[in-house]
Amino acid sequence: MYRSRLVMAWNIFRFCTALRGLGSIMILLVLAVVGVTYYAVVLTNYAPVLYDATGGFTSSLIALVILILFHILLVLLLWSYFSVVFTNPGSVPANWRPLLDEVERDEVNPRIRYCRKCNQMKPPRCHHCSVCGRCVLKMDHHCVWVVNCVGALNYKYFLLFLFYTFLETSLVTLSLLPQFIAFFTDEEIAGTPSMLATTFLAFVLNLAFALSVMGFLIMHVSLVSSNTTTIEAYEKKSTPKWRYDLGRRRNFEQVFGTDKRYWLIPSYSEEDLRRISTLEETLQFP
C-alpha cells in the first residue's frame, strides 16, 4: 500500500513537472491561433474589401467596422493575456507568521494552516500549487494557457482575458460564417486554396473557443458574485453562509476595484493599488 502511494505521488510530481515545462509552448500556441485568425479575418477576407472599388459602400463600411472592432478586442485580449502571464498571483513571504490576535481568533475557527511542502504557515484562502511549487494567495487554479497560477493579484486580468476572448472569438465566428457556409454550397469562393483552408481553420477554432470560454466565463461570474474561488467552490460545498461573501457589489469591487474607469482594462487606479498593497501586506483577502 505504501509503495503504491509512493508511486502515485511520484507520477503526480512528474506530471506537474511536465506542465511546468509547457510554458513557452502554450504561449506560442496562443500566438499561433491569434496569427491564423488575423490572417483569415484581416489579410484574407476584410482588408481586401476596403480596396475593392466594385464592392460598394455598404460592403466597405461593414468591413471597416469589423476590422476596427477586431483590432480593439485583439489589443485588449493580448493586454489582458500577458498581464495574467507576467503578474505574480501573490505569494507568501518566507517565514510568515500570523498576528497574535489572528491566532487567538482562529483557535475556535481555525483557518491558518501549515503547508508541508513549503514548510511554513499559510494565511487564509491560500493554497499550494504543485506546478509552480509555491503557496498562492487566494488561489483560484493553475492555468496552463497562461502558464501561471490565477490568484489574488491577477484574477481580474484572467477574467478580462476570458471576457475579451469570448467577444473576439464570437466576432470572428460571425464574420467568417458566410465564408464557412459557402464551403458547403455551389457558390464560387475567391482566394487560393491556402487562404480558403486558413479561413476554414480559423472559423472552427474560434467557434470552439467561443463555446468553451463562454462556459468558463459564466462559471467565474457566478464565483465572483459570491466571492468564491474555484477551489473554495469545492471546499465549502453545503456551507450555509459563506464567510467571505460581502454582497455582490463589494464582491465585484474586491476583484475589479472601485474605480469604474478601470473595470474593463487590465489595470487598477492608484487608490485601488494602495488597497491591494495593504491587503498584500496583511495577507488578508476577504
| Residues with a known catalytic role | 143
Between CA 221 and CA 214 the distance in angstroms is 11
Nearest Cα to 275, choosing from 165, 156, 191?
156
- What nine digits make up the cell of 6? 509512493
The closest of 148, 121, 117 to 134, measured between CA atoms, is 117
Among 281, 24, 248, 247, CA closest to 153: 281
Cell of 217: 466565463
Pairing of the two strands 126-129 and 148-150: unpaired
CA-based nearest residue to 165, from 129, 215, 116: 215
> Which helix (H) or strand (E) segment is 150 a member of?
strand 148-150
Partnered with residue 136 across adjacent β-strands are: 91, 127
